[in-house]
Amino acid sequence: MRKFLLALVAVAAAGLAHAAGPAIPLEAANTNVSDRASLQRGARLFMNYCASCHSAQLNRYSRIAEDLGLTEEQVMQNLNFTGAKFGDGVKVAMDPADATQWFGAAPPDLSLTARAKHGGADWIYTYLKSFYIDESRPIGWNNPVLANASMPHVLWELQGVQRAITEPKTNDAAGNPQPCPKGEVKGACLVRFELVQPGLMDEAEYDLAIRDITNFMVYMAEPAALKREAYGPWVILFLAFFTFLAWLLKREYWRDLH
Ligand code: HEC
């Protein structure tokens, strides 16, 4: 019980620490859930790099297979590393209590994050792009989108390691603080992120990878959107056909009146 209360306090404290919201402008994620290849790549990256800490309990492996056009075998061999059953939701190998102890906050379930987060897909995309080294923190990383995040930069091998170049905030003639056009990092204006150690991917490849992960998370938050988008063109076609019928009918009625 004490452990539980401690965990609760840790989560509440993490919540308060982040209450400020993103300190840099969000970048457009430009995701597209009808891009199946992107969803498949995103699922692979998600299961390899995120599901070790985060669950996505509302999304069953079987449903993911169906929606992404994968076989049971493909999913169980390439996307499921926890020994969960095909019909189970995406589980996490780590005990949440351990995670709270290690990271100071339990990694939240990510099933609905793309919908629940203010900023949605753009928030996630910008978050995954903006980890920088911060030696003042025990975790070694920081992120202006989620200030003092207790999540390490798990994709650093792909992106490389970047540091934040900042300049002091300025005041105008009247002494009023001026806003930072590119946002703030630890009380100073962000100029840019500078790569101090290259990763396995160049910038364009990395952007694509995190767009794919974000796309998969958007899909997970609303799997029904896939089917809806697939129905879309048929609905439009039906409406067009119906409009044509109505027009024929109108012409028929008006013929006698002219
Ligand atoms: C080593 C464990 C770990 C891994 C791996 C990890 N995360 Fe996290 N993540 C965390 C923790 C801990 C938090 C809570 C951060 C906080 O509140 O300070 C978090 C928070 C988040 C949040 C914010 C959620 C919210 O509601 O505030 C998102 C989004 C997220 N992670 C996405 C990802 C993605 C995408 C990946 C894979 C690329 C990933 N995480 C991999 C530990 C991890």
Three-state SS string across the chain, please?
Answer: CHHHHHHHHHHHHHHHHCCCCCCCCCCCCCCCCCCHHHHHHHHHHHHHHCCCCCCEEEEEHHHHHHHHCCCHHHHHHHCCCCCCCCCCEECCCCCHHHHHHHHCCCCCCCCCHHHHCCCHHHHHHHHHHCCEECCCCCCCEECCCCCCCCCCCCCHHHHEEEEEEEECCCECCCCCECCCCCCEECCEEEEEEEEEEECCCCHHHHHHHHHHHHHHHHHHHCCHHHHHHHHHHHHHHHHHHHHHHHHHHHHHHHHHHC
With respect to residue 56, please indicate whether it lies within any of the assigned structural domains.
yes
Number of domains in the chain: 1
With respect to residue 26, please indicate whether it lies within any of the assigned structural domains.
yes
With respect to residue 232, please indicate whether it lies within any of the assigned structural domains.
no
Q: What is the pLDDT of residue 134?
A: 96
pTM of model > 0.75 = yes
With respect to residue 230, please indicate whether it lies within any of the assigned structural domains.
no
Reported confidence tier of residue 7, pLDDT bands at 50, 70, 90: low
With respect to residue 124, please indicate whether it lies within any of the assigned structural domains.
yes
With respect to residue 236, please indicate whether it lies within any of the assigned structural domains.
no
CATH number for the domain that contains residue 96: 1.10.760.10
With respect to residue 182, please indicate whether it lies within any of the assigned structural domains.
no
Q: What is the pLDDT of residue 257?
A: 79
* Mean pLDDT across 27-56: 95
Inform me whether the pLDDT recorded for 16 exceeds 70: no
Pocket of ligand 1 (CB under 6 A): 14, 49-50, 52-54, 103, 105, 107-108, 110, 113, 117, 124, 127-128, 149-152, 154-155, 213
Distance 156 CA to ligand 1 centre (A): 14
Its domain, for residue 71, covers 2-129+204-222
With respect to residue 214, please indicate whether it lies within any of the assigned structural domains.
yes
Question: What is the percent of the chain with per-residue pLDDT over 90, rounded to a whole number?
Answer: 66
